[in-house]
Amino acid sequence: MILGRQHCSKLAVMSNSIRICRCLKTNTSTGIRQCGVRRSYSQLSSMQLDLKRALQSADSHSVNGTTFSDRTQLKYARRLVVKMGSAVITREDEHGIALGRLASIVEQVAECHQDGRECIMVTSGAVAFGKQKLTQELLMSLSMRETLSPNDAVRKDARLLLEPRAAAAVGQSGLMSLYDAMFSQYGVKIAQVLVTKPDFYNDKTRKNLFSTLSELISMNIVPIINTNDAVTPPPQDDELIKSKGKKVISIKDNDSLAAMLAAEVKADLLLLMSDVDGIYTLPPKQEGAKMIWTYNSDMADIIQFGKKSTVGTGGMDSKVQAATWALNRGVSVIICNGMQEKAIKSILAGRKIGTFFTNAPTANTAPVETLAENARHGSRILQKLPAEDRARAIYTLADLLISRQAYILDANEKDIAIATKEGTAAPLISRLSLTSAKLKSLAIGLKQIAETSHTNVGRVLKRTKVAEGLDLTQVTVPIGVLLVIFESRPDCLPQVAALALSSANGLLLKGGKEASHSNKALMDVVKEALATVGAQDAISLVSTREEISDLLAMEQHIDLIIPRGSSDLVRSIQDQSAHIPVLGHAEGICHVYVDKDANLEKALTIIRDSKCDYPAACNAMETLLIHEELFGGQFFNDVCDMLKKENVQLFSGPKLSSRLTFGPPRAKSLKHEYGELACAIELVSDLDSAISHIHTYGSGHTEVIITENSRLFTIMLMILQSIV
């Protein structure tokens, strides 16, 4: 069963190739289609094979008259119809094809085809291609005087002088030759299918058309379909034409053509590619226009359409009508910007691109944009409050963590159970877990934040007298709306919420999915505390399936991004955020230096606590530096024995490794954050060597010196830029 439809194919091996054999019968009433095999599975990469298996095992949504309800399901779409608008593949001067954009789309369609998907393309561009050729013919027919004239009307008005039908007749062959040359680079065969209105309204010709498409698809050929513009009459107003009691959409442009094709071939997904990002509530360039990421039939009354492009026959209203028509017949639809890089592949990966048409009911959660707007409004409410009221709200939050701990811990147990079932590593489960002791510690910390929050906003930092009676004063003000992205530590949520509340900032929180139940319970408590001061919308948890990359594009709503988590997360945020400032510390490579003048008994306790108490914390010890005079004594053995008893995996640095005949394996890098029960041990000759090592391999996070020599401590404190 492939996507809910019955397929059958036979493989016949001749020489070293695979011969395509297909079923001789197709039952359209039950959704049975002809299918074929293009190459041996053994010739496919493992990634392609995995995707094929996923496509074959996925349940079809459209065959049963239902569509995909969420973007994450689009990866299971097996049969695609890709419609490219004239504005996408035509140059701005309307003469010729935009080769770069077309090549990108062809590459993506070829990759989808090679991944095992069935692709059908609906293209425009024949008129533009033909105009380019006919313009050259017009220029060749000019007289010498007209050719040399700088104000030649033929050059300026060639677009108006050329008959579109004649241009289409001239350009059709050249356009298909271009497609054939591009697809041949990927080993993909194509076929041209020209259609007109009567082909759809006449039952016999429509049956023959879709029989031909099924035949081409069964032989792994990509059909490229276009209206025969050389004979097609001008587009008429929309109308539903009945054919034997069956309503058929009026074919007035390639949008309606693509919708008809997608419904007839029972496609899983229809992509309508235009020159705009999707559907807006108003014309995109009009002030106040908002992007509609998910569209259903209830939204028809809130949209106002603008003018169509100069090179196309259908406008955005035509696209919406065609998309809605196809959606009602079991085809999922996305209207997207065909000029966006890798749009097709990104859509199939579940990225938030274009307007997604679905019949699924609208989710109860507010869109991220709405949450951000609410956070900014909430920030302004917090700014107006006296500092005592903000502090009181934090005290309330601290008390709620204790009084509601049964509710919070119950939610956390659900996350722990899921993580344990999925085989999550013990250090990550430790990071995820909440206990009564942790909640009490959190409450104490929040009360400390409240006590010191009274001067966070409005504190005068500097006052400069500019002139008599004119002073320039620098005061602290809120940043605006913060986006804090954190991973599996749910205890991070109330801490960050309290800090945002104390500084009157709006806040969006994006937590890891592994802590979804815990984060929701904690956010309920935060909302309850905020409601006491009338600012319950100032802080929100982004619980939808938005990709982080989509959140990073909201520069009009977010003023600062603060990622908290692994170095990979922080670096990824820093790389993706081009327009929003990012405040993040990429690594937590922390050192503990044991000086020769240290209290060795105290040192053992500190080392155990810094590595074993919370190994997943960002300030846990990753490298232990030991003065070389302590190497030959009992202390070195005691340290290693203690760490081994705590199940800490040890690695040796270059100097230690050179002195050991048998010992811990050599560390691959001393600039590494383990984040688990593992650490490196290295020898240094003195304090200067320790500081040099920290400067070379450290990340400026947290360092520890264990010594009874106060002079050495002062030196280290002055030189290092991290917390000591």
pLDDT, tens digit (0-9, with 9 covering 90-100), for 608-641: 999 988 787 778 899 999 999 999 889 999 999 9
d(Cα 8, Cα 5) in Å, to the nearest integer? 10
Task: Indicate the DSSP class of residue 361.
Answer: P
pLDDT average, residue stretch 83-90? 86
Question: What local confidence, expressed as pLDDT, does residue 230 receive?
Answer: 73
What does the pLDDT look like over 398-454, one tens digit per residue?
999 999 999 999 999 999 999 999 888 777 788 889 999 999 999 999 999 999 999
For residue 285, pLDDT over 50 is answered with yes
Torsion over CA: 193, 198, 201, 207 (sign): negative
Residue 429, pLDDT score:
85
17 vs 534, which has greater pLDDT?
534
Q: What is the spatial distance between Cα 400 and Cα 530, in angstroms, rounded to a whole number?
A: 12
Q: Give residue 157's pLDDT band: very low, low, confident or very high (50, 70, 90).
A: low
> CA–CA separation, 195 vs 127, rounded Å?
15
For 323-340, the DSSP string reads HHHHHTTT-EEEEEETTS
Distance CA 665, CA 681 (A): 11
Q: How far is it between the farthest Cα atoms of the chain? A: 102
Q: What is the pLDDT of residues 309-344, one digit of tens each?
A: 444 444 577 788 888 899 989 999 999 999 998 999
261 has pLDDT over 70: yes
Global pTM value: 0.65
Res 2: pLDDT: 35
Which one-letter amino acid corresponds to residue 119? C
Q: Is the pLDDT of residue 551 over 80?
A: no
Q: Which of 12-26, 122-136, 489-503, 677-691 has the lowest mean pLDDT?
A: 12-26
d(CA 221, CA 191): 7
Residue 148 above 70 pLDDT?
A: no
Mean pLDDT of the chain: 81
Q: What is the pLDDT of residue 62?
A: 42
Looking at per-residue pLDDT, the higher value among 300 and 75 belongs to 75
Segment (H or E) for 465: strand 460-467
pLDDT in tens, 178-231: 999 999 999 999 999 988 878 888 888 888 999 999 999 999 999 999 888 777
Task: Taking each helix axis as running N to C, give the angle between helix 126-140 and helix 164-184, from 0 to 180 degrees, rounded to the nearest 10.
Answer: 110
| Res 27: pLDDT | 37
Least confident of 142-156, 553-567, 664-678: 142-156
DSSP letter assigned to residue 667? P
**Which residues, 6 or more positions from 409, have their beta carbon under 8 angstroms from its beta carbon?**
434, 435, 436, 439
Residue 366's pLDDT is what? Answer: 67
Q: Compute φ and ψ for 472, nearest 5 degrees.
A: -105, 120
Rounded Cα–Cα distance for residues 142 and 137 (Å): 9
Cross-strand partners of 601: none
4 pLDDT higher than 60: no
pLDDT above 60 (res 131): yes
pLDDT classification of 24: cutoffs 50, 70, 90: very low
pLDDT tens figures, 687-715: 999 999 999 998 888 899 999 988 888 88
Cα gap 355→337, rounded to integer Å: 10
DSSP 579-624: SS-B-------EEEEE-TTS-HHHHHHHHHHHHHS-TTSTTSEEEE
Structural domains of the chain, ranges and CATH numbers in brackets:
64-357 (3.40.1160.10), 368-576 (3.40.605.10), 590-719 (3.40.309.10)
pLDDT of res. 216: 94
Question: In whole angstroms, what is the distance from residue 345 CA to residue 111 CA?
Answer: 9
pLDDT band at residue 523 under the 50/70/90 scheme? very high
C-beta neighbour count of 239 within 10 angstroms: 9
Q: How far apart, in Å, are the Cα atoms of 51 and each of 132, 147, 329, 614, 635? A: 41, 58, 26, 39, 56
Report which secondary-structure segment, H or E, holds 295: strand 294-295
How far is Cα 347 from Cα 334, in angstroms, rounded to an integer? 9
Task: Report which of 558, 539, 452 is spatially closest to residue 501, judged by C-alpha positions.
Answer: 539
Residues paired with residue 460 on neighbouring β-strands, in sequence order = 475
pLDDT tens digits, 334-386: 999 999 989 999 999 888 899 999 887 655 556 777 888 899 999 999 999 99
Task: For residue 520, give both structure tokens.
Answer: 């929701």
The answer on pLDDT for 133 being more than 60 is: yes
Specify which residues 175 forms β-bridges with.
Answer: none
Question: Across residues 541-566, what is the average pLDDT?
Answer: 79
